């Protein structure tokens, strides 16, 4: 009987990490024709910003409604993935599942221009991305692993960060494309490092979103309006991007009015983080404590709502406040005295 355990799979090496210079690099290519596969919240926002940046952008999505919306902002629509690939020098994929990515990979491998570059921005298991990469590579298409940090609302404002990984020269050649839809992009080296960084970012998002709800619920019990708390806390040591972005959605059931990340979609991200933590044998008590809160949101019927709905979960988990706190009547504006 073999008593040796199977070796733990190695994570890809982080060969080189660099923030992209805002000046064009010598290796940067002159791309003008782009395509977007998947015109959901993120894909449509990226496509819109690329159009504003002066690129010629065509796109495809199975949803007729998504195609009509993209056409209204100046995008060109196509009937399928292969039609987009035929007209574009660079493709951006923003897909809901591994099955959608693999279907796209097979479609491109069957009929795509050699030398086509695909910027894969979805949050998916890196092994599924590797399968798609290998399928495309056999047809002369280069797939890059480039997940995004940012919500749908941030994508609309071009407030995204791109975690790019794959062949370094190819990543460097795409600076103008990345700048067309993001505020910052990083070349993280070997394929798969992009998803590794994305999981780290989402772990923090999961925690900060719930901690924001905790703090704002406490403030509400104190009599401090959510809007005032967000304004004041954002400038202090306890501030975070989730406080700024999701905090306002935790007031007057904003989670049902503005959707930046659906609870049901977020469950996929939580699963990927949990699997990575188990695989790398990392203790994560704070992240693990948030799982029940997000599951609670699903159980309470918030699956189609924004993840800011965790505020409602904590509110219903809390006992009623029998003591009245004084109401805050200030305007939340800071007053700084000048020293003489």
* 83 belongs to a structural domain: yes
Percent of all residues in the chain with a pLDDT value above 90, rounded to a whole number: 82
The more confidently predicted of residues 50 and 16 is 50
Distance CA 337, CA 340 (A): 9
The more confidently predicted of residues 150 and 339 is 150
Closest CA to 17 of 236, 136, 192, 168: 168
- Clarify whether residues 214 and 186 are in a common domain: no
Global pTM reads: 0.85
- Clarify whether residues 67 and 172 are in a common domain: yes
* 211 belongs to a structural domain: yes
Res. 1 pLDDT band, cuts 50 70 90: very low
* 170 belongs to a structural domain: yes
If you average pLDDT over residues 47-54, what whole number do you get?
98
If you average pLDDT over residues 53-77, what whole number do you get?
97
Q: What is the pLDDT of residue 30?
A: 87
If you average pLDDT over residues 3-15, what whole number do you get?
48
Domain end, chosen from 191, 210, 245, is at 191
CB proximity list for 243: less than 8 A, separation 6 or greater:
208, 212, 215, 230, 233, 234
For position 261, which CATH number holds? Answer: 1.10.1040.10
Domain end, chosen from 128, 157, 191, is at 191
If you average pLDDT over residues 55-67, what whole number do you get?
97
What is the helix (H) or strand (E) element at residue 90, kind and residue range? strand 90-93
- Clarify whether residues 82 and 170 are in a common domain: yes
Q: What is the pLDDT of residue 240?
A: 95
- Clarify whether residues 158 and 22 are in a common domain: yes
- Clarify whether residues 76 and 27 are in a common domain: yes
Percent of all residues in the chain with a pLDDT value above 70, rounded to a whole number: 86
Residue 273, SS3 per DSSP:
helix
If you average pLDDT over residues 72-95, what whole number do you get?
96
CB proximity list for 283: less than 8 A, separation 6 or greater:
none
- Clarify whether residues 232 and 173 are in a common domain: no
* 225 belongs to a structural domain: yes
| Domain count across the chain | 2
* 235 belongs to a structural domain: yes
- Clarify whether residues 47 and 182 are in a common domain: yes
Res. 11 pLDDT band, cuts 50 70 90: low
Place of tokens 């990083």: 186
Give the pLDDT confidence of 260-310 residue by residue, as tens digits: 999 999 999 999 999 999 999 999 999 999 999 999 999 999 999 999 999
- Clarify whether residues 144 and 23 are in a common domain: yes
Q: Worst-scoring range by mean pLDDT, 22-26, 41-45, 151-155, 333-337?
A: 22-26
Q: What is the pLDDT of residue 244?
A: 96
User: Alpha helix (H) ranges present in the chain?
Assistant: 41-52, 64-72, 81-87, 98-110, 126-137, 152-156, 168-173, 175-181, 193-222, 226-234, 241-246, 263-279, 285-299, 310-317
Q: What is the pLDDT of residue 51?
A: 98
Give the pLDDT confidence of 107-162 residue by residue, as tens digits: 999 877 889 999 999 999 999 999 999 999 999 999 999 999 999 989 999 999 99
């Amino acid at each position: 009987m073999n008593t040796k355990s199977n070796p733990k799979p190695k994570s890809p090496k982080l060969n080189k990490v660099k923030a992209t210079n805002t000046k064009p690099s010598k290796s940067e290519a002159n791309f003008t024709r782009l395509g977007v596969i998947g015109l959901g919240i993120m894909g449509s926002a990226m496509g819109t910003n690329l159009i504003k940046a002066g690129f010629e952008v065509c796109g495809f999505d199975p949803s007729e409604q998504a195609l009509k919306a993209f056409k209204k902002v100046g995008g060109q629509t196509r009937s399928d993935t292969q039609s987009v690939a035929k007209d574009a020098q660079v493709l951006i994929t923003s897909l809901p599942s591994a099955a959608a990515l693999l279907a796209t990979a097979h479609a491109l491998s069957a009929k795509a221009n050699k030398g086509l570059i695909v910027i894969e921005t979805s949050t998916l298991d890196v092994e599924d991305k590797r399968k798609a990469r290998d399928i495309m590579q056999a047809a002369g298409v280069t797939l890059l692993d480039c997940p995004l940090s940012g919500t749908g609302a941030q994508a609309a404002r071009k407030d995204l960060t791109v975690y790019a990984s794959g062949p370094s020269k190819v990543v460097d050649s795409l600076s103008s494309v990345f700048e067309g839809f993001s505020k910052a992009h990083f070349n993280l080296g070997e394929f798969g490092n992009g998803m590794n960084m994305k999981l780290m970012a989402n772990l923090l998002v999961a925690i900060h979103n719930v901690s924001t709800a905790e703090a704002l619920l406490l403030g509400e019990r104190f009599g401090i309006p959510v809007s005032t708390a967000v304004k004041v806390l954002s400038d202090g040591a306890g501030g975070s991007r989730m406080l700024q972005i999701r905090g306002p959605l935790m007031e007057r059931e904003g989670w049902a009015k503005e959707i930046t990340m659906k609870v049901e979609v977020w469950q996929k991200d939580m699963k990927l983080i949990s699997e990575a933590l188990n695989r790398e044998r990392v203790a994560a008590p704070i992240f693990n404590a948030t799982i029940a809160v997000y599951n609670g949101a699903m159980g309470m019927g918030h699956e189609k709502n924004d993840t800011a709905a965790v505020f409602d979960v904590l509110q219903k988990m809390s006992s009623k406040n029998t003591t009245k706190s004084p109401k805050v009547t200030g305007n939340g504006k800071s007053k700084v005295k000048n020293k003489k």
